[in-house]
Amino acid sequence: MMIKGYEKELTLIYENIRLEEEKNLEKRRKEIKQKHPDILELDNLIQKKSLNLAMSILKGLNELELKNLKEEIVDLRFKKYEALVANGYDQEYLTLHHRCPKCKDQGYIGSTKCICYKNKLVNLYYKDSDLQDSLRLNNFNNFDLSLFSNYKISDDKYTPRKNIENILEYINGDFIPNFSKNNDNMLFYGDSGTGKTFLSCCVAKELLDKGYLVVYRSIDELIKNLREIRFENNYNLEDLLINCDLLIIDDLGAEQLTEFSATEFFNFLNKKLLKKKKMLISTNLSLPDISKNYSERISSRLLGNFKLYKFYSEDIRIQLNLKKK
């Protein structure tokens, strides 16, 4: 998955937004000039006097003259607002509108990325990754508890339904509501078809809707990304993966284990943990299999720095398929 060019694309998006809003303002000004030229004259006079005020400040006029000029501008603005409202317009009709009032459509507040920048980055990423379509189906609105049996199917302490209810209680009662306050990582483990990926997508959508930057990667995609970071110096991609609010890594254990993948995954995992950047990892491996398949330094971090949630049920995909018939 290529992320290169996203920063450039976002810069272009903001430039187009500002250009569109400037054109919209020009259209509004032309309309007012045709229908109410006296109002536009007021607006032009305000702009002229505001420029004079700025020049007067630079020239160092005395405070009384500056005060009189400011009061004159305020009076003119009130007259303009009254005239606009009296003719059925919003009082800000002749003001340049900003789609994001926080950053004024710049994308940054000072040197800090605005939340709208993060949201646009998310939209670009998910548009290209096809996860946007997936989240329309895989969300809490479509979560069906009845797919989890109310009868024990193994030696586990709880029934599949009670188990998933316990997991949901933590996610909806703590993890999501307190997302900005806690540093919890989660590891979903269990057999294929038990709802791990579905619930991961549910979490992703809830957090995206709250304005958090969530990035989804299968383990194979993540290894490819780590290769790109290492050999192509793709620092924008590294920044996205390291500093996103939540990184979801799906299907751990499905990757081809090589010396490169093991080393890069450990370094990446360790960096995320040190920076306290949250992760949600899902795997079909059991906990003993994780210890067996991965080195001690990887497995100890997975088992020691993540909240562990076991998923078990009859295969949900088969149940859903049977329901269609």
**Tokens 């079909």 sit at which residue?**
284
CA distance 302 to 298: 6
Nearest Cα to Cα of residue 275 among 249, 248, 247: 247
**191 to 52, 100, 322: CA distances (angstroms):** 73, 45, 19
For 8-63, the pLDDT digits (tens) are 889 999 999 999 999 999 999 999 999 999 999 999 999 999 998 888 888 887 88
Judge contact between 3 and 228, C-beta under 8 A: no
CA distance 208 to 211: 5
Please, which residues have CB within 8 angstroms of residue 79's CB and are 6 or more apart in sequence?
42
pLDDT value at position 221?
A: 94
How is the chain split into domains, by residue range?
6-106, 130-324
> Looking at residues 124-147, what average pLDDT do you find?
81
- CA-angle at 254, arms to 306 and 323, nearest 5°: 90
Judge contact between 150 and 159, C-beta under 8 A: yes
pLDDT for 1 beyond 80? no
Judge contact between 144 and 317, C-beta under 8 A: no
Q: What is the DSSP letter of 314?
A: S
The predicted model scores a pTM of 0.71
| Concatenated DSSP letters of 207-234 | HHHTT--EEEEEHHHHHHHHHHHHHH--
60: left (phi over 0), alpha (psi -120 to 50) or beta: left
For 209-241, the pLDDT digits (tens) are 887 888 899 999 999 999 999 999 988 889 889
For 64-117, the pLDDT digits (tens) are 888 888 999 999 999 999 999 999 999 999 999 999 999 999 999 999 989 999
**CATH, domain 130-324, list 3.30.2130.10, 3.30.420.110, 3.40.250.10, 3.40.50.300:** 3.40.50.300
| Concatenated DSSP letters of 132-173 | HHHHHHSSGGG--GGGS-SS--SSSSS-HHHHHHHHHHHIII
